Structure 1
């Protein structure tokens, strides 16, 4: 990607995080980019176009490719997931010159995107469905290999892994902490795993 375009996206992302979509003006976006108005408009003709690209880029930065995780066991799968989160958060912080990955403003940004960009809402739901399918598949495999045993369905177990991640992230954000404290999440998952391990 072009360095100037990348710079505009990075600056705009930070502004959209600080304020809502409606509160950020095109004038602020241009000023904070350090570019002339003409140079800025060469890359983005409107705030809507810029917002869409900011959302798509930030969203794609956090997409998970579950096929890259170990499928030897559920235990290895969730450990790979934790490693992925650690690496992705570190990369995000480094690329965006920030100390934290998410805060409440990140969720506001996502909600703005859901309201303003119908295709994003559909993409988000498809991603959530992919997440559930990936976890359900590895849990089915673990059950078939007699790694785990539980009266709960594969999907119910998958939802416990997913929801503990989501809920602990939100709770940490509300406490002003790093959203995913991977050490505590890993311990929670290991404890749950011990309960269902055959």
Structure 2
């Protein structure tokens, strides 16, 4: 059985995904949980505290990515593993309401923006994640050049950013279209870039 704190977080996440942080009231959260005011306030003293823990519990975990778990045998095996991991992330996002069936919940981006604006610690985590991602991609690109897998005079970091920004833009496109099932379309795009750098 789900514990009370987790019940509050799950309920609050659903409300924050339906509306924005600003639009959700503390009264609404308390009523939707079905708890008495006293029981609720035993766990959280304000909407801000609820939001902070919702972000920490769901979004921070969703954003975590261990690049050391990806294959480092080649650039191609690295990005193939990366794409598989992203598909798994989308499946896990369905479990917390960020994806419903084939549809992305675009409101999770608003939740993300609210978190970046309101929670300095979350912004720091986000920046750290971005730096780790850039480091991991740059490292594998450098390795691919050394091994002769790819041949390009373009700086390693720019090649790394090409893959990262393509993935980011594609992700935004999926959110706007609301079609989580199109994730498989990213691989041919990565393959195309990869072939261009092999020439």
TM-score of the pair, normalised by structure 2: 0.91
Report the CA distance between 1:28 and its aligned residue: 0.9
- Aligned with 1:162 (options 157, 161, 164): 164
Gaps of 5+ in 2: none
Task: Give, in whole Å, the separation in 1 of the partners of 2:128 and 2:141.
Answer: 20
* Equivalent residue, structure 2, for 1:109: 111
Compare 113-122 and 161-170 and name the one that shifted more: 113-122
Structure 1 segment 81-96 matched on structure 2, within 5 A = 81-96=82-97
Query: Retained in 1: the 8 A contact 2:104–2:174?
Result: no
**How many residues are treated as equivalent by the alignment?**
196
SS in 1 for 2:100: coil
Compare 82-91 and 169-178 and name the one that shifted more: 169-178
**Alpha-carbon RMSD:** 1.8
Matched, 1:139 2:141: yes
Deviations 1:92-118 (A, max 9, x none): 213448335743311211111121112
Matched, 1:183 2:184: yes
Deviations 1:42-73 (A, max 9, x none): 22111111111111122222311000001111
Deviations 1:118-152 (A, max 9, x none): 22222211111111111111111111111111121
Task: Give, in whole Å, the separation in 1 of the partners of 2:87 and 2:126.
Answer: 22
Report the CA distance between 1:91 and its aligned residue: 2.0
Matched, 1:197 2:189: no
C-alpha distance 95-172 of structure 1, shift in aligned 2 (>3 A): closer
* Equivalent residue, structure 2, for 1:15: 15
Structure 1 segment 32-43 matched on structure 2, within 5 A = 32-43=32-43
* Equivalent residue, structure 2, for 1:62: 63
Task: Give, in whole Å, the separation in 2 of the partners of 1:95 and 1:121.
Answer: 21
* Equivalent residue, structure 1, for 2:74: 73
Gaps of 5+ in 1: none
TM-score of the pair, normalised by structure 1: 0.91
Task: Give, in whole Å, the separation in 1 of the partners of 2:53 and 2:102.
Answer: 22
Task: Give, in whole Å, the separation in 1 of the partners of 2:100 and 2:26.
Answer: 23
